[in-house]
């Protein structure tokens, strides 16, 4: 038992553990931010040793988050980070008792995936039509369901004419996705105008640098605003692709494989939405 282990030291060990488990970089970053926030709060109370943390202190931290206006969903995510962290410390024999076991998650409503209506996705396409780069990205996400990170990581040699290859990334396996007419035409149009630079990434800036995820996100969000689409996020393009394919009768297993879902249950969650909406039976080629 390492009684004098500090929270800072153990958080670094936990971070290395997550990397060894090949957890997604975004997940590792989120865990780190949440744990560091807790460490800062406890330091303000003079608590720095991992073994000195108890359930009442974590409940105080939870109450402090509520006072600061964090949503129930955000607090629940942070609690999940803490539970994973202290479970790791107990497994490593750094602490004898897990102080996070009794800490409960706040209740909150889990909203269903946001599906763009026919009017909305047509408005988005019209809004960005003059921007061949963003137009190609939007079309790829709407027509293939690729993640924003996968779009950013696409290289020129991943474009194989009638299909694109998504390289293995962190915890996601590689896969090949066919391109329909709309996606292929949008991508080909952009590639004709793409700057002639050495950068291997398909999507680049005007100066020839890789078009980063945060810049892709902000660009699409700007076109959401121009198109008058409210409360939509970039990942909703992927949600829309999954929904409309399932509504059109594409087999669940096929969609799950093309989407790169680790579990079939992730894809199944969209099925209940089909009966709730009246815009089913739209083939992707008709988007």
Range 7-91 classified under CATH 1.10.150.130: yes
CA distance 177 to 147: 12
Summarize pLDDT for 181-223 with one digit per residue, the tens.
Answer: 999 999 999 999 999 999 999 999 989 999 999 999 999 999 9
Q: Which CATH number fits domain 118-286: 1.10.443.10, 1.10.3720.10, 3.40.50.2300, 3.30.1330.200?
A: 1.10.443.10
pLDDT tens for each residue of 36-89: 999 999 999 999 999 999 999 999 999 999 999 999 999 999 999 999 999 999
Residue 277 confidence class, pLDDT cut points 50, 70, 90: low
What predicted TM-score, i.e. pTM, was given to this entire model?
A: 0.71
Question: Are 247 and 211 within 8 A, CB to CB?
Answer: no
Helix-, strand-, coil-residue percentages of the chain, each rounded to 5: 55, 5, 40
Q: Where are the domains of the chain?
A: 7-91, 118-286
Q: Please name the residues in contact with 4: beta carbons below 8 A apart, sequence gap of 6 or more.
A: 49, 51
Over the stretch 107-160, which tens digit does the pLDDT of each residue have?
887 778 889 998 999 999 999 999 999 999 999 999 999 999 999 999 999 999
- Mean pLDDT, range 163-176, rounded to an integer: 85
Q: Which pLDDT does position 275 carry in this prediction?
A: 65
Q: What is the largest CA-CA distance in the chain?
A: 63
DSSP string, 16-73: HHHHHTT--HHHHHHHHHHHHHHHHHHHTTT--BGGG--HHHHHHHHHHHHHTT--HH
Task: Say how far apart CA 207 and CA 108 lie, in whole Å.
Answer: 45
């Amino acid at each position: 038992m390492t009684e004098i282990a500090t929270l800072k030291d153990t958080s670094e060990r936990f971070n290395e553990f997550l990397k060894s488990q090949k957890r997604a970089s975004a997940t590792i970053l989120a865990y780190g931010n949440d744990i560091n926030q807790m460490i800062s709060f406890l330091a303000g109370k003079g608590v720095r040793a991992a073994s000195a943390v108890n359930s009442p202190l974590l409940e105080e931290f939870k109450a402090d988050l509520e006072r600061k206006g964090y949503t129930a969903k955000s607090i629940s995510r942070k609690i999940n980070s803490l539970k994973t962290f202290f479970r790791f410390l107990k497994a490593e024999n750094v602490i004898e008792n897990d102080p996070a076991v009794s800490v409960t998650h706040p209740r909150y409503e889990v909203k269903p995936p946001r599906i763009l209506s026919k009017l909305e996705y047509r408005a988005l396409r019209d809004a960005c039509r003059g921007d061949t780069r963003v137009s190609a990205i939007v079309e790829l996400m709407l027509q293939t369901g690729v993640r924003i990170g996968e779009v950013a990581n696409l290289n020129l040699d991943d474009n194989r004419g009638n299909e694109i290859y998504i390289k293995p990334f962190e915890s996601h396996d590689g896969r090949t996705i066919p391109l329909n007419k709309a996606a292929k035409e949008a991508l080909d149009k952009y590639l004709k105008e793409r700057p002639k630079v050495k950068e291997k990434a398909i999507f680049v800036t005007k100066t020839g640098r890789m078009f980063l995820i945060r810049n892709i996100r902000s660009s699409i969000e700007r076109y959401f605003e121009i198109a008058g689409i409210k409360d939509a996020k970039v990942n909703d393009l992927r949600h829309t692709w999954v929904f409309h394919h399932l509504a059109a009768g594409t087999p669940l297993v096929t969609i799950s494989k093309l989407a790169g879902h680790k579990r079939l249950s992730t894809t199944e969650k969209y099925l209940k939405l089909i009966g709730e909406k009246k815009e089913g039976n739209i083939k992707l080629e008709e988007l």
